[in-house]
A and B are shown apart, each in its own frame.
Chain A
Amino acid sequence: MPTDYVHQLDNGLVLLGEPSDAFQSAAFSLLISAGCRHDPAGQAGLASLSCEMMLRGAGDRDSRHLISDLENLGVERSESVGVSQANFSGATISASLIPALSIYADIVRRPHLPEDQLEAGRAVCIQELRGVEDDPGQKLMMELRRRHYPDPWGRPSHGEQDDLAKLTAADVQQFFTNRYGPRDAILGIAGNFDWQEVCNAADELFGDWKVQADYSPITEMAPSKDTHLTYDSNQSHIGLAFPSIPYRHPQYFEAWSAVGVLSGGMSSRLFSEVREKRGLCYTVYASLHTQRERAAVFCYAGTTAERAQETLDVTHSELVRLGEGVQAEELARLKARIKSSLIMQQESTSARAGSLSRDWYHLGRIRPIEEVAAKVDALTAESINAYLAANPPETFTCLTLGPQPLELPNGIS
């Protein structure tokens, strides 16, 4: 069935659909290969600034008309820039879907990138960067990711203030020309819509979009090696990362469910050992972050300074203990949670549209929910433990942020 809802244009753009008349809405997620890993040396933040400029007028609408028209169509929208892609997503009532898509075609194909608004766009990006400084937990995890992955894969999309200050309108125009195009573009749509109508609209809106060059030099930035960031905060913020396997890997579900045992639901190991039994934290979690070619588990705990060492030690020992394997009962609970998540995800058009686009990026195909359910059913404690025995969490990247550094357990860099 899923193959019925894939439509690839000659220029490369892939349209994916999941129509369902159970909704009054439809949602879309448009991925463009314009992420921050394409920021050239000395221009960290260019992908973000470009994305910010995209909505400041496009086609025959100026900045105000563009936003007003989207709002009159009832589009709840968001734009974000990741390492690999810029994501333009939105949801609206069904009747507004195609008019909304036609505005988005203008945005990604015919943006004005007005020079007289460059300073405003730059100021927005710099404000965002400054905001992160006041959120120590977010700052820590951003810096941990930067230290754990080889550059450019751990870059924060916000960029650097000094680089942002130097970017010009010509830089933005150049980035747009190089990166915005149908090559590797993915448009996933879920909800109440007519597939054939949407295919026709996509042909009309994107069919003559010229393919951008297949050229993406990556400039590596020097890694940071420090393991502590001094910060005058009430809590100490602790981050630990260890390598894992990406979504497309055959054993991904084993790796993912092992992390679920660690940190999925309130009966999971981290929540019960660190928070419930010892009262060390309010927030503690681990999650598997996957890119197409690499993945890692990122773990966070925030606690007052005097209990930070114990929190780090207990959290670290739970991560190491995971290497000894999981119990059948833990897996049974996890499967119940996954099953209900899969079904509840079908109640959200935005969640489904995002999944369609991501699946295509990672796998080059749509992965039906039934297939995910079958893979989850097939998981056993033995299959997970075989994965863990071969890939025990034992080498970690650790970063702490707070009033004082902590003593790192062995095996941590």
Chain B
Amino acid sequence: MSFKLSSVQRGPAIAGILIALFLFLFLAVPVAKVIFVAFQDPATGDATIINFVDFFRTSLFRESFFNSFYVATVSVVMASIIAMPLAYFTTRFNFGGTVLIQTLGIIPLIMPPFVGAVAMQLLFGSNGSVNLLLDEWFGFTLPFMEGLNGVIFVESIHYFPFILINLSAALSNIDRSMEEAAQNLGSSGMRLFRRIVFPLAMPGYIAGAALVFIKVFDDLGTPLLLNVNNMLAPQAYLRISSIGISDPMGYVIAVILVGFSLLSLWVSFLALKGKDYATVQKGGGGLMKRDLRPWEKFGCYAVVVLILLLVLSPHLGLLLLSFGTIWSYAVLPDAFTWAHYITVLSTATQYMSNTLLYAGLAALFDVILATAIAYVVWRTDVVGRKWLDYGATAALAVPGVVLGIGYLRTFHSFNVPLIDEPLASWWVIIVIALTIRRLPYALRSCVAAIQQVSVMLEEAAENLGATKTRTVWRIVIPLMSGGILAGFVTSFATAAVELSATIMLVARESDAPLAYGIYEFMQSAAGRGPGAALGVIAVLFVGVGTYISHMIIERGRKAREPKSIIAEETLT
């Protein structure tokens, strides 16, 4: 093997090294720092596990640990209860409500859970609309939002689509012949479901469930807004923000959060490993579907409508709150007004402009990095290129709180030249945090895009005299543009409402983004109206963004469709 790089390899190699350096500096170092500090004696600086011992000796932390675990587990169960019938209806029956269910699967995701949390309290809290009505009609109330219940309720309504999407995909990936072969050998009904269908769908379900578990386990915004502080993520935040960055407990919690993230990623990896469960083959289709009998159809619709109402309730609540004057001990607000929007638009525009700036920059960096990584990994043979992919994807395992703590600790003493300010409190650090956090999503989008570009198209360009660089600009990037754009929009939309990392990194009010603004407003009863108005604006941000990215992906799919039909015809 020669160590001299040929000239065609030099560009990608340099790009690869720069990206690796960026990931090292802003992902590996801060996380390593957090772990290091967690295992360091605060007084002497020696390596120790005393911090972990202290952690488990403190009853508040033990309780927080238990609560986080409990909330995440029960949320997975609740989310499964919501998602399973929906997944089953769409893959098993010729059910007219399929489009409805697919929409259902997207609606919650366009609003971060903490935005709707306060509104949910007004709808489902002990003095909320639903309980007031229940009390009036039936004389009892239900503790939907009491303490941990509230977090579970909000999180499971928000995150069930992850299970729905993964489970539906797994079910529809089962080839019909898998089921037919079992019937042919004498199996039917529940036995067939238990022995064939369920095991085949299991990996998809576990992958979705692991994702829900970790999202809930790491979530900071929802418990903070519901004022449930005896959970891990809020404790980490409160320790760091009230006691300071030298307190070791925040780091211990961060290590526990990372540990659980890795654990759940590992579980979903194990579930999917070595099992070629996407079994759809040529000429096959998903499972056999059957028509519903009228009463079954009624039952299905009833379930779907009930879930739809639940899923839409945070949005409805938020909308009511943003237009309501006073809403307390009443089913609906007393009156409606534009005042909150006017307040927000006249006093809180810097939240929006900051968000546009941060999320826009972060999304831009993300697609540049993701495109470069995708190209280096899939189109060159630079040594160690796979590690760029792994490195960028590793950000998935780092909760926002952990990244925030890591940045504070690592960069608080690093002064940016010229502006003479610590990097940790400069607004650019928020952009970097968002870039790192959203890079995995942009990367998957770009990798999917480059895999769809046939290498032959590039070879044809090179054969006609284009250099590597010219080929990248004229062939690869234009053909990837759909994926790149979709990656940009996804990164932008999700970065626009990110709270967990940014809440730690906002040094001053004037640097705060939208999500932080909502959090600030929601702290006081008087601020709820404007906070909700800001929330509605955030939902519009994300909703429009998601819609655009959906349209881009659909357009790309449609453009490719005729080709695949021809390919199928020539196959048969």
Q: Do A and B come from one complex?
A: no
